[in-house]
């Protein structure tokens, strides 16, 4: 099969991810796993957004011909709508995060904390491939 790849570098795994002190260096397989994981995340979030948006469209449609409905029904469909909206918002946030991580991956910045510039650490990235901040900075941010 002829490759359509036009990049100068034929090796897809020429990416080096920094490690924290005491971590083993990343193997090509581990790097590839992260890449797969990020791509799967992006695909999953895009689907989740579609589903949530389709659900929202349905709910809004229901809302327009809901004249004469029981107020309790209206209340529960408002609740449903809020739920769908926050689902869609969550998925969008996660998609953005996954896309950012993937871009950093491709540009070779992946694995470096975007706040302090220290290695994020292998353990954390393997559990949470979307991480773009080290644990310390993340906790500091969440406390704000």
**Least distance from C-beta 26 to Zn ion, angstroms?**
19
12-40 CB burial, b ≥16 within 10 A, e <16:
eeebebbbbeeeeebeeebbeebbebbee
Which token pair is 126? 């393997």
CB closer to Zn ion, 72 vs 127: 127
CB closer to Zn ion, 118 vs 126: 118
x/- site string to Zn ion, residues 95 to 114, per CB under 5 A? ------------------x-
Using rule CB under 5 A, residue 134 touches Zn ion: yes
CA 66 to chain centre: 36
Alpha-carbon Rg for the chain in angstroms? 21
Using rule CB under 5 A, residue 115 touches Zn ion: yes
Distances (CA, A) of 128 to 41, 59, 98, 117, 125: 11, 33, 10, 18, 5
Residue 100 CA to residue 68 CA, distance in Å, equals 47
Using rule CB under 5 A, residue 57 touches Zn ion: no
CB closer to Zn ion, 74 vs 116: 116
CB closer to Zn ion, 51 vs 137: 137
**Least distance from C-beta 33 to Zn ion, angstroms?**
23
Out of 16, 60, 116, 128, name the contact with Zn ion by CB under 5 A: 116
CB closer to Zn ion, 48 vs 135: 135
Residue 4 CA to residue 14 CA, distance in Å, equals 18
| Residues within the interface to Zn ion (CB under 5 A) | 113, 115-116, 134, 137
């Amino acid at each position: 099969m002829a490759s359509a790849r036009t990049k100068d570098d034929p090796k897809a795994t020429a990416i080096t991810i920094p490690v924290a002190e005491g971590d083993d260096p990343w193997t090509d397989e581990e790097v590839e796993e992260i890449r797969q994981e990020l791509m799967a995340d992006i695909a999953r979030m895009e689907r989740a957004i579609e589903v949530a948006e389709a659900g929202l469209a349905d709910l809004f449609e229901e809302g327009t011909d809901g004249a004469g409905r029981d107020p309790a029904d209206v209340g529960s469909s408002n609740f449903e709508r809020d739920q769908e909206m926050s689902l869609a918002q969550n998925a969008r946030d996660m998609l953005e995060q996954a896309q950012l991580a993937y871009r950093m991956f491709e540009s070779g910045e992946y694995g470096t904390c975007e706040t302090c510039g220290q290695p994020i650490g292998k353990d954390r990235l393997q559990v949470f491939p979307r991480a773009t901040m080290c644990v310390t900075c993340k906790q500091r941010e969440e406390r704000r």
